[in-house]
Structures are given as C-alpha cells and as structure tokens.
Structure 1
Amino acid sequence: MALLLWALRLVRTGVFRWGGAAVRRWVGYGTRNRLAAFLAGVAATIAVQSSTATALMTASMAGQGFMTTPMALAVMLGADVGTSLVARLLAIDLHWLSPSLLLLGGALHALGGEHRGRRALARILVGIGLMLLALKLLGAATLPVRESALVQAMLEALGGEPFFALIVAAALTAAVHSSLATVMLAGSLAGAGVIGTETAVALVLGANLGGAIPAVLATSADGAMARRVPLGNLLVRVTGSLLALPLVPVASSFLAGMAPLTAVVSAHVAFNAALALLFLPLVTPLARLTEGLLPQPEDAGEDAATPRHLDESALETPSVAIAGAVRETLRLGDLVEDMLRRSLTALRQNDERPIAEVSRADDRVDRLHTALKLYLAKLGRRHLDAEETRRVDDLMAFAINLEHIGDIIDKSLMELAAKRIRHHLHFAPEDFREVEELHRRTVENLRTALGILIGEDRRLARQLIAGKDAVRALERTATARHLDRVRRGDAASIETSALVLDILRDLKRINAHVAAVALPILDQVGELSESRLKVVGLPRLESRDV
C-alpha cells in the first residue's frame, strides 16, 4: 500500500512538472459548458492519477474567479469518473511491464541532467512501473490473509454490516488520501477470496465517499468560493453512497460472473458513471445549495490581505507558480500605491482618520507580503532553472522593497502628518506645492515599476532610472527653495521646516526602493555601471615613486 501511494505521488508530481500548465489549461477549458467541464475533469485526473489533486486545482481556480461553481462541480464529476477509469486500467494484468518501465525511467533520469522535462518524464515512468509492481505485490500479500482467523472474523463482521464497511473504507481512504488505493486493496482482497463481492462493493462505496474528504480539509482555510467545490463534491458522494448502499446485493448479483478484481473496479466505474449521469444536469441547483451553505462574507471583498493567486498546487509547475506570484506582487504594489495616494490626503487635511486608514492598509500590506514571501521561499526550494531562479529572486526583492515603502509611509510620513495635526501647524503654500510635485512623480515611478515587473521592459527600466535621477534633482531643488524661504524669514516655512525636509527625504527614499526593480534588468544586459563615481585622472608615477 505504501509503495502504491508513493508511486501515485511520483506520477502526479511528474505530470505537473512535465506539463502542469497544460493540465490547468485543460481544466480551464471546462468553463465553456458542463460537458466540456466533465471531460476536462476526466482527462486531468487520468493524467495526474488523483481526483484530490484535480479537486484542489479546481477549487483554487473557482476561488480566484476563473471558473463558476457549477462548472467546477462538473469538473469534479469528471474527476471521479477519471479516477475510476484509472482503476479499471490498472485491473489489467500488466505487471510484466514494470521492470522495463523502471529501467527506462531510471536511465532517463540519470541521463536527463538538468533537463527538467526529461527528469519529469522519468518520474512518470518510474511511478507507473512502481504502481504495477505494487499492485502485483498487493495481490500476493493478501493471499496469506485467508489463513488468519482474526482477520477472517473481522471481515466477516464487515460482511454482515455493509454500512460499517462503508464507514471503515471511507476513514481509510481519507487517511491515505487515495480512493484508488482503497479500491485496489478491496479488489485484491476479493481476488484472494478473503472477502465476498458484497463486502467489496460496500468498501468501494466507502472509498468514493472518503475520497472527497481530503479536499474539504485541505481547503478549510480558503475563501468561501474555493470551499464550495469540495463541499459540493462531498455532498454528491454522500448522497450517492447512501442511495447505492441498499442496492449492494442487487449489484453483487450482476457482478457474480466476473473475476473478483474486475467486478470490484467495474462497480467503481459504474457508481461514478451513474453519479455523473444523475448530477451533471443538477450542477446549477447544487451550486446554489453550496452557496447557501457557504455564503460569501459581506466584508470579504475588503480583505485585501488574503492572497488570491498563490496556488499551493501550482508549486509543482514553477512557471505557473511564478505567474501567480507576479500577479500577487502586483496586488501588493496596488495596495502600496493606494497607501501612497492616501498619504498626501493625510498630510494635507486636519483629520486623523486618513492616518488611521493608512495604518490599517500597512497591516494588510505586511500580511500579504508575508504570505508572498513564504510562497516564494517554497518555490525557491523547487528544482528551478537559472532563469526561473533569477525571476523568483527579483520578485522576492521587489516584494521586500514594497514592504519597506509601506513602512516609510506608515512609520514616517504618517507620523509627520500626526505631528502636524497635534501642533496645529500649517504648511506654506509654496512648500506644499513642492511636496505635491515630488509626490506625483513618486506615484508615476511606482506605476512604471509595476509595469516593468510584468514585462521586464528595458526601455521602461531605463525610464525608471531616469525618473529616479529626476526625483533626486527635484528633491534638491525643493530643499534649496525651502531653505531660501526660511532665510527670508517666511514664518510658515520656519515653523514646518523640519516636517517639510523630512517629507522630501522620505519621498526620495521611496523612489530609491521603487527604482530597485529596474536594476536587475539593466544589469542583466550590461547597461548598469557599477559606480556613480566619475573616473578621474590618476597622477603619473615616476620610476622612483614605484
């Protein structure tokens, strides 16, 4: 059983590393209509060998708004049929292929070097080879069970109580996270003559019920939209299992002429096909039921600190995970830009409410930054090529810079705004115009930086560096003009001098953090000098000096 579970994981991770983006596209195509969604679920589950993996992927897409709940439930009906078809294929005695697949996979892995596609294909081949080997060993290991009086007594008790057999199989499946493994175990026990067909069919029903539980638990901390998909799938499983349980003796009589293993997997396929026929036309009312059970909180849209694009299942496919991390970094940038805009209002008005709003926004920035940083750290531990490693490092650096900008706005600029209100100070009109101009340039530079993050455009990178230089010059000019007004004895400039100079300095610091996104891009193409110092002529050395 352990070898079978490990083999299933090898195949699943290998498929995600080899073509995870394609699998997600298959599932994405299911948004067109329920039949397409059903077929996408079948294909994706056959590919990844796990309905739980398909459930988590589908729940993530539904939670991010890429798929409606009815279409996601149709995908799950297809996923359950897909995993039953995998069981039917494995019921064919192909264990003789195992050595060849293991040898081929091992050789491909050894010769693959740093080629991720070959190594992923090697994982798939080794995983399939181990699956076939595990099923052969499972069949052989169950034969001696017939000689155990204790096991015989336990299984006889299960045979007399099909509902209890269903519960036991559901618990076992939830524990091992694989309905396929439980179904194949039931088939092996039936093939060895340890249990009868009725007990085996009851175990199959329990395996289908238990297979829906891991996805419910895995998404328990997600948003309501993401949790509706596994909940709807669980409701389908519970309803189907309870409806089918009284029909177990009838089904067993139909399966009596088949080989035990074939009968078990055929019952598995028939059960899931029947559920698909029954519930595929009902996905819309089922979706409404899940929406009623898990309503969207009224303030859910306001919680900008909750990550929307950090899909844990996408970590197996770095390119997909990096794309999600880029989108989440853009969200972080939008939050910081909103803080920056609010900061000008807080500096202008004699009202502490904008200051409190900026402080709350900084808390959201901190939480989102932490989630993004941890996600990128997990992604960095994966097998990445040089370009992906560079991209992850650049995203991490930019996210850190955005968090620093939030701290400057909250801890420095807002403290200055609060100080001005406490002491009833008023900026000189000329001073505040200088601040507004520098603030406007800072917002523009932040927008440019977010644009660079998307496309890594060298032209925009050069423009951002030029904008940083312009801000530096503007800060120097604004400081000089302010000091000139102080020298002339302007009362308003004198009493707010420390505030004005600190604000100008903080805006310049923010621009420095913003411009940092352009540095790796220009450095990569050799357009960045190592020092801003001018090269000056060295004195000529005479021989005696040497």
Structure 2
Amino acid sequence: MSCRGISEFGMESTIVIINLFGAVALLLFGLAQVKDGVTRAFGTRLRTGLATGTQSGLRSFVSGFVATVALQSSTATALTVASFVERDLIRARMAQIVLLGANVGTAVTAWIVATGIEWLSPLLILVGLVVHRGGSTARKGGGTALIGIGLMLLSLHLLSMATEPMRESPALSAFIRLLDGAWPVALALTALLAVVSSSSLAVVVLVLSLASTGTLSTELIIVLILGANLGGAIPPVLATFSGPASARRITTGNLVVRAIGCLITLPLVAFAAELLETLPLNPAKLPVDAHLAFNIALALLAWPFSGLLSDLMKRLIPTAEDPDTGPKFLDAQALSTPVVALANATREVLRVGDLIERMLVRVENAFRHNDLAPLAEIEAMEKRVDNLQQEVKIYLSKLGREGLEGENLRRSLAVMDYAINLEHTGDIIEKGLGEQVRKKISGSLKFSEDGYQELKNLFDLTIENLRIAQTIFVTGDFNLALRLMEMKVDVRKAEKLSAERHLERLRDGRLESLQTSSLHLDILRDLKRINAHIVSVAHPILDDSGLLRESRLRQAEPGA
C-alpha cells in the first residue's frame, strides 16, 4: 500500500472512530436528559414508591424495575435504594431484590430501544420541545425526558451509520479474531467501557451496533454482554465507597451477584450460544436478547438467596464504630459572623431531624414486622438527639451574647424552637411509641385488620410530615408551611376517627380490639403528640404572615 493509501486509510479510520464515539456520547447525553427530566417530573413519586413498595419480594422487584425503566439508569436506582437502606426505610434483603428488578429494567430498556423505532426520534424531540415550554416543573421535566429519548434513538441511527464502514475493515476483523480467542480480555474490555461511561446500556447498544456488521460470533456477543453487566455494577460501588456500611453492603452485594453470574456463565458460553441460535431470534438483535436473558435468569437464581446475601454482606462489611457522635457543624470561630453561625446551627438541627426520622422508621418497622431488632438502638439514638440538641442550645446562647437583632434573632429563636420540639419528639418515640410496640411484640398481641391499617397509615403520615418539616426548616417555604398546618388537622381527624372506630369494635366484642385496646389508644395519642411537635416548624413562618391566632377558640356571639 502506498503512503497516500495508508494516509487515506488512517483518515477514514479516524473519522469512523470519531463518529462512533460521538454517537455514544450522544446516547449518554440522552440518557442523562431522560434521568434529569423524569427526576424533575416524577422524582418524589419514584422515591416514595421505592421507599414504600418493598413490603414483599415481588413488590420490591417491580419497584426496582419500574424506577429503572423510568430513570434509564440502574446506577441511579442503586444509589437511591442504598440511601434508603442507610435511613432504615428499606430492609437490606428487599433492597437486593430491588436491584435485581433494576437489572432487568435496564435490559428491557435496551431491548425496547433496539426494536427499530429510530424514526420516532425527530417527532419525540419536537414534542419534547413543545412540552418543555409549559409553565410547570412537571411539564418541563416531561419535555426534557422526551427530548432525551429522542436523542437516544437518534444516537442509534448514528451508531448504525458509523459502523457501516467497519463491515469491510480488515483491522476490525483482526481485532475481533483476537477477542474471539481471549474471552477474559473481551469481558474485561466491555466491563471497563461500562465503568468509564457509567452505563451498561450504552455498552450494550455499542455491541448491538458492532453485531450488525456481522463480524461478531454468538459466543463473543455473549461474553461482551457479560462484561457490560459486570462493569455496570461497579459505578454504584465506587459512588458509595466512602459512605456508610449499610449503603456499601447493597451496592457490593449487587456486584457480587453479577460477578457470580458471569463466572457461572463464562464456561457455558458455547452451550448458551447454541441455545440462542436454536431460538427464532433476530440475529441483528442478539445482543439485547442475550442481555435480557442473562438478567432474567440471574434474577430467578439470586432471588431465593437474597437473605443469605444480605447476611454475608453484613459479615464482610461490618458497621464501623462512629466515634463522632457529637456535633459536626457548630464551629465556634463562626460565632463572630451570625449568618454563618445560624447556617451551622441549621445544619446541625437537620442532623437531629434525620435521627428522629430514623427512630420513627425503626419503630414502624418493628410494628409492621413484629421484630424487636429495629428497637435495639432507639435508646442510643435518643441520647444522641439529647446531646446534639443541648449542644445547639449552648451554641445559640453564645451567639446571642453577640447581640442578635432583626431577622437573625428571629431565625435563632426558630432554630432553637425546632431543636427543642425534635428533642421532645425523641422522648415520645423512646418512652412512648417504642415501649408500646415492644409490649405488642413481647406479648404476641395482634391488632384487628382495621385497627392495624389505621395505625400504619398514621405512622406513614407522621414520617411524611417530618420530611416536609425538614424541608420547611431549610427553605422557609410559605406554601409548604401552610400545607403542614393543614396536615395537622388531617392528623387530628384521623386520630379521632380511629379512636371512634376502635370503640365501635370494642362494643362489637372483637377479641383483637379487646386485647390491644390500651395499646391502640396510646399509639394514637403518641403519634398525635409527635405531629404537634413537628408542625411547630411552620409556626414562625405563618406567624410572620399574620395567619396564626393567639387562641383557636372562636369568639362567642354577643348575648350567647
């Protein structure tokens, strides 16, 4: 070959590589747009669904599947679930099943993308732009998601065009022959690409494009897909590497499951290839079919061992002792700058609120599952709440010596008041709710179905109100404050209605209600008291707006 021919070949190869990686970059950008759009439009609902949809293995699997199809990212689902486990919102075993569903969700997404609907790309981008011009956050998020899907489909078209010149490429043929003879290298290659791109879906689509050239054997396709699956489990592990042990157990467990799946499948690649070739499958779509088959088979095999896996991860990744149980943000040097000091106190009180949420969630888990284990750390957590609340009071009292006035004085009082109310809430949880639930479990008592559901709903409402209160405490949002005050009325009505229905069940002589009468009423009372303390965060905001009265008593009519 002449120098000119070599130069032209090198230029063509460079153009092909640029087009190929440009199309992959567009795919990754489209994935990011879908994730951001769905998070803006439905993020709260998805997170709530993940947190509450894990009462059973099947619901956990479906929750992970739906969240991943919506977010287009099993990594995002894994990190969200890990954060929920850290806050005791999801049990570790159910979290592992959620990630099995997330893995299948990613595979289904790849399968849908590869069905030949690239022609919809311009339409989706156009509709997305129109929807994005809507005024609401949900519409903007939905528009962004549609644009992202359109860009993903467009990237598939570009990938197909970029790989066309590779069909006759001798360099590609030589490289493929090299990989065909070295499966561990092929697996490591796609695993590395998945880690670098933080997306197994992007790598699967890339393999799909290469397979369309007809140069990949079925065995090599399977090996490359195994690498994409293995590499896709690594980014969540890296993201939680410095996090708490509870979060690391979940992401590491998912990596272990995929690694074991790859180790089992790799020696059976020839058999799997023969099986796939006997099925009536489209050869051009073989990578996504293999991807889906692998994840479904892995979910079916790993599901029964999810509890064993959770126990293993707990032994391999023990909870580290936390020597820093005191305040983290109360910097004494910041006392000379009131705005900074108040921000520090706010961050510290948010930690107290997070502790209270964890206590509430633990008590509810014990209540729902008749398990004393979640109550074991309640006393220690309440002591931390007391300690942090005391440190915040001392810090703010020192700040007050600097002569606060105006908005800084109001904010200091609001922070102090919220901290005190959280401390009272901790006392109620430890000495009230916790003890009531302990009596229920120790005495093997069972509420009536109606009574149990009423208490569970009030538990859920209380936890949701606390999360709203935490947001109000930081943002001072007037509308949220008004909503929380209205929720207080709903809590009062729910408590009254449940008490009345409980008395009706007593009159009907229902045995469960007779056995749990005092427990039912005591739990109702404690949850109502907790909500009263939580709602206090809205008082300063509504008071400044003139919407609070000194007394809730109505003025008597003259002469009445």
TM-score between the two structures when normalised by the length of structure 2:
0.59
Secondary structure at 1:31's aligned position in 2?
A: coil
Q: 2:90 aligns with which of 43, 62, 67?
A: 67
Over aligned residue pairs, what C-alpha RMSD do you find? Answer: 3.6
> Partner letter of residue 447 of structure 1?
I
Q: 1:447 aligns with which of 414, 420, 427?
A: 420
Q: Aligned pair 1:92/2:92, yes or no?
A: no
Q: Aligned pair 1:40/2:13, yes or no?
A: no
Task: Please give the alpha-carbon distance, in whole angstroms, between the structure 2 residues aligned to 1:14 and 1:457.
Answer: 28
Q: Any residues of structure 2 matched to 1:75-154 within 5 Å, and which? A: 75-110=98-133, 112-113=134-135, 115-154=136-175
Please give the per-residue CA displacement for 1:248-286, whole angstroms capped at 9, x wherever unaligned: 122222233633332111111111111111110000110
8 Å contact kept, 2:484–2:538:
no
Q: Alpha-carbon deviation of 1:445?
A: 8.2
Aligned length: 365
Question: Counterpart of 2:273?
Answer: 252
Task: Please give the alpha-carbon distance, in whole angstroms, between the structure 2 residues aligned to 1:11 and 1:443.
Answer: 41
8 Å contact kept, 2:132–2:143:
yes
Q: Any residues of structure 2 matched to 1:339-488 within 5 Å, and which? A: 406-408=394-396, 447=420, 456=481
Secondary structure at 1:295's aligned position in 2?
A: coil
> Partner letter of residue 105 of structure 1?
G
* Distance change (3 Å), C-alpha of 1:197 and 1:519: same
Q: Alpha-carbon deviation of 1:96?
A: 1.2
* Distance change (3 Å), C-alpha of 1:48 and 1:284: same
Q: Alpha-carbon deviation of 1:303?
A: 3.2
8 Å contact kept, 1:11–1:48:
yes
Q: Alpha-carbon deviation of 1:150?
A: 2.7
Task: Please give the alpha-carbon distance, in whole angstroms, between the structure 1 residues aligned to 2:76 and 2:484.
Answer: 41
Greater shift in the superposed pair: 16-25 or 161-170? 16-25
Q: 1:303 aligns with which of 316, 319, 325?
A: 325
Question: Counterpart of 1:167?
Answer: 188
> Partner letter of residue 325 of structure 2?
D
Q: Alpha-carbon deviation of 1:148?
A: 3.1
Q: Alpha-carbon deviation of 1:89?
A: 0.8
Please give the per-residue CA displacement for 1:186-243, whole angstroms capped at 9, x wherever unaligned: 0110111232222111110000000000000001111000110000000001100011
Q: Aligned pair 1:277/2:300, yes or no?
A: yes
Task: Please give the alpha-carbon distance, in whole angstroms, between the structure 2 residues aligned to 1:223 and 1:164.
Answer: 33
Please give the per-residue CA displacement for 1:465-491, whole angstroms capped at 9, x wherever unaligned: xxxxxxxxxxxxxxxxxxxxxxxxxxx
Question: Counterpart of 1:238?
Answer: 259
* Distance change (3 Å), C-alpha of 1:305 and 1:191: farther
Question: Counterpart of 1:176?
Answer: 197
8 Å contact kept, 1:84–1:265:
yes
Q: Alpha-carbon deviation of 1:106?
A: 1.0
Q: Alpha-carbon deviation of 1:446?
A: 5.3
8 Å contact kept, 1:190–1:197:
no
Q: Aligned pair 1:192/2:192, yes or no?
A: no
8 Å contact kept, 2:78–2:236:
yes
Secondary structure at 1:255's aligned position in 2?
A: helix
Task: Please give the alpha-carbon distance, in whole angstroms, between the structure 2 residues aligned to 1:403 and 1:86.
Answer: 50
> Partner letter of residue 420 of structure 2?
R
8 Å contact kept, 1:228–1:290:
yes
Task: Please give the alpha-carbon distance, in whole angstroms, between the structure 2 residues aligned to 1:8 and 1:458.
Answer: 35
Structure 1: gaps spanning 5 or more residues: 308-323, 335-360, 369-401, 414-441, 461-514, 529-546
Question: Counterpart of 1:521?
Answer: 542
Please give the per-residue CA displacement for 1:478-513, whole angstroms capped at 9, x wherever unaligned: xxxxxxxxxxxxxxxxxxxxxxxxxxxxxxxxxxxx
Q: Alpha-carbon deviation of 1:443?
A: 7.6
Question: Counterpart of 2:370?
Answer: none
* Distance change (3 Å), C-alpha of 1:326 and 1:272: farther
Q: Alpha-carbon deviation of 1:457?
A: 7.4
Task: Please give the alpha-carbon distance, in whole angstroms, between the structure 2 residues aligned to 1:333 and 1:278.
Answer: 37
Question: Counterpart of 2:432?
Answer: none
> Partner letter of residue 125 of structure 1?
L
* Distance change (3 Å), C-alpha of 1:525 and 1:330: farther
Give identity over the alignment, percent. Answer: 39
Q: Alpha-carbon deviation of 1:40?
A: 1.2
Q: Aligned pair 1:55/2:78, yes or no?
A: yes
Q: 2:49 aligns with which of 26, 39, 42?
A: 26
Task: Please give the alpha-carbon distance, in whole angstroms, between the structure 2 residues aligned to 1:333 and 1:43.
Answer: 30
Q: Aligned pair 1:331/2:353, yes or no?
A: yes
Please give the per-residue CA displacement for 1:332-368, whole angstroms capped at 9, x wherever unaligned: 898xxxxxxxxxxxxxxxxxxxxxxxxxx99x97xx9
Secondary structure at 2:271's aligned position in 1?
A: helix
* Distance change (3 Å), C-alpha of 1:288 and 1:524: same
> Partner letter of residue 201 of structure 1?
I
> Partner letter of residue 89 of structure 1?
I
Q: Alpha-carbon deviation of 1:149?
A: 2.9
> Which one has the largest radius of gyration?
1
Q: Alpha-carbon deviation of 1:458?
A: 12
* Distance change (3 Å), C-alpha of 1:326 and 1:127: farther
Task: Please give the alpha-carbon distance, in whole angstroms, between the structure 2 residues aligned to 1:163 and 1:228.
Answer: 27
Task: Please give the alpha-carbon distance, in whole angstroms, between the structure 2 residues aligned to 1:458 and 1:172.
Answer: 47
* Distance change (3 Å), C-alpha of 1:148 and 1:410: farther
Q: Aligned pair 1:294/2:328, yes or no?
A: no
Q: Alpha-carbon deviation of 1:297?
A: 2.1
Task: Please give the alpha-carbon distance, in whole angstroms, between the structure 2 residues aligned to 1:283 and 1:179.
Answer: 23
> Partner letter of residue 109 of structure 2?
V
* Distance change (3 Å), C-alpha of 1:457 and 1:135: closer
> Partner letter of residue 52 of structure 1?
T
8 Å contact kept, 1:30–1:38:
no
Task: Please give the alpha-carbon distance, in whole angstroms, between the structure 2 residues aligned to 1:195 and 1:91.
Answer: 17
8 Å contact kept, 2:352–2:422:
no
Q: Any residues of structure 2 matched to 1:196-207 within 5 Å, and which? A: 196-207=217-228
Structure 2: gaps spanning 5 or more residues: 1-23, 330-345, 357-383, 402-414, 426-468, 474-479, 486-535, 550-560
Q: Alpha-carbon deviation of 1:405?
A: 5.2
Task: Please give the alpha-carbon distance, in whole angstroms, between the structure 1 residues aligned to 2:63 and 2:40.
Answer: 19
Please give the per-residue CA displacement for 1:155-181, whole angstroms capped at 9, x wherever unaligned: 221111111100111010011011111
> Partner letter of residue 220 of structure 2?
T
Q: Alpha-carbon deviation of 1:516?
A: 11
Q: Aligned pair 1:210/2:231, yes or no?
A: yes
Q: Any residues of structure 2 matched to 1:214-233 within 5 Å, and which? A: 214-233=235-254
